[in-house]
A and B are shown apart, each in its own frame.
Chain A
Amino acid sequence: DTAVSQTPKYLVTQMGNDKSIKCEQNLGHDTMYWYKQDSKKFLKIMFSYNNKELIINETVPNRFSPKSPDKAHLNLHINSLELGDSAVYFCASSQAFGFTEAFFGQGTRLTVV
């Protein structure tokens, strides 16, 4: 069983569209994250959720919104996609906030054309 799974793996879409990326973890972890990895492989945290409450909201555009229907899921919705949103997005989870190892999904490569 995959510990952290995200779908889709690849997403190609046009500018202006709205898209969602889904993430699920079966580890029973309390905290889930979304990271963005740019073309230079730099990883930046976007959001994290702890027990369905948003803990971090880094300076990301409000076109990005996390949605957590329950502790095991943290989906990422992106409105009005822009070319600069093209990147690899990783979902991750951890037992505790920043103090234990994080488990990552395989990533979603988003390409905006």
Chain B
Amino acid sequence: SQQGEEDPQALSIQEGENATMNCSYKTSINNLQWYRQNSGRGLVHLILIRSNEREKHSGRLRVTLDTSKKSSSLLITASRAADTASYFCATGQYSGGGADGLTFGKGTHLIIQP
């Protein structure tokens, strides 16, 4: 079953601006991850935030996690044309008797206008 829901579905901004994408999920999680997919390519891991963490940074990326609201956000600062891609959140959860692996949302398609 689908776990993550990204918002917005599509986002177009000017180069240099910041891009913010949101993700909501339904069940308790062990961690939440963000991935990037360039057109016609596989997914590339960007960042992982654990359920006991509230914020994490990696270069121009900032991820927040609010487990009380079951939501996360990905902020890309000073966007570049190369950031044009689809961004997915994925949740890792564990249920008694067996781990469920990663469940992905539908993604946000980000377009950076030069």
Contacts and interface: CB of A to CB of B under 8 A. Distances in A.
Interface of A: 4, 31, 33, 35, 40-45, 48, 55-56, 90, 92, 94, 97-107
Contacts of B86: 41
A79 to B, nearest CB: 24
A33 B101 contact: yes
Contacts of B98: 55-56
Contact of A45 (B31, B40, B102, B107): B102
Interface stretch (B14-22, B69-77, B88-96): B88-96
Contacts of B31: 99
Task: Name the residue in A31, A41, A44, A98 with the highest tally of chain B Cβ atoms < 10 Å from its Cβ.
Answer: A98
Contact of B92 (A55, A92, A99): A99
